[in-house]
Amino acid sequence: MAARFHDRSEKDLFDQFQVGEKKIRKKTRDFLPQLKKNLSLSYENSIFLIIGFAMACIICFSLGVEKGRREAGITSNMQQEASDKGAEIKQQAIDTPVDKYIIQLAAFKKRGPAEEELKKLKREGYIGNIKRSGDYYQLFIGSFETKSEAERLRKKLAGKYPDCYVKKY
């Protein structure tokens, strides 16, 4: 029995006795085996490649950011110059803004009562108008150059219209 066992183990050592396994090896042979031997990378080399790639990405990103900052600076300077020219033109056209003041006497839910009150005020010699604001009709009078003029008239009318107030027009 020892001889039989001894024969089997010797056949395992020689390729000529392993016909079935040889066919399998031919099918699973690597594509371009010489190239595979030359391209083998160690862990150290692969780590260096990854670090190099990361550094290249960081450098490209920072160069792009710097270029963007320079372009943004150029466009903002151009916009600032254009806005300065526009501001000079506007300042020449408008010397002094004239603020006018009006007095809001009351606000009505319906237009009819507001028109009746406006007719009464016109009979007394006041110039006024009605403006719709949301659900209300606001009654205004006057067009005053200074706030103090408007305040004097408001005090006069405060007895009849207690909630009246001065407003910029």
21 and 83 in a common domain? yes
Domain total of the chain: 2
Kindly tell me if the per-residue pLDDT of 29 is higher than 70. Answer: no
Whether the full predicted model's pTM is greater than 0.85, yes or no, is no
pLDDT digits (tens, 9 = 90+) for 95-144: 555 678 999 999 999 999 999 999 999 999 988 999 998 899 999 998 88
> 74 and 7, same structural domain?
yes
Give burial (CB, 10 Å; 0-12/13-18/19+) of 23. exposed
Considering the domain architecture, whether residues 9 and 47 belong to the same structural domain is answered as: yes
User: Residues 69, 84: one domain?
Assistant: yes
Give residue for tokens 């000079």.
88
Same domain? For 105 and 144 the reply is yes
| pLDDT digit string, tens, across residues 45-94 | 889 999 999 999 999 998 888 888 887 777 666 666 666 655 555 555 55
Say whether both 135 and 71 belong to one domain. Answer: no
Q: What is the pLDDT of residue 135?
A: 92
> 143 lies in which domain range?
101-168
In this structure, are 81 and 132 located in the same domain? no
Q: How many helices (H) and strands (E) are present in the chain, helices listed first?
A: 6, 4
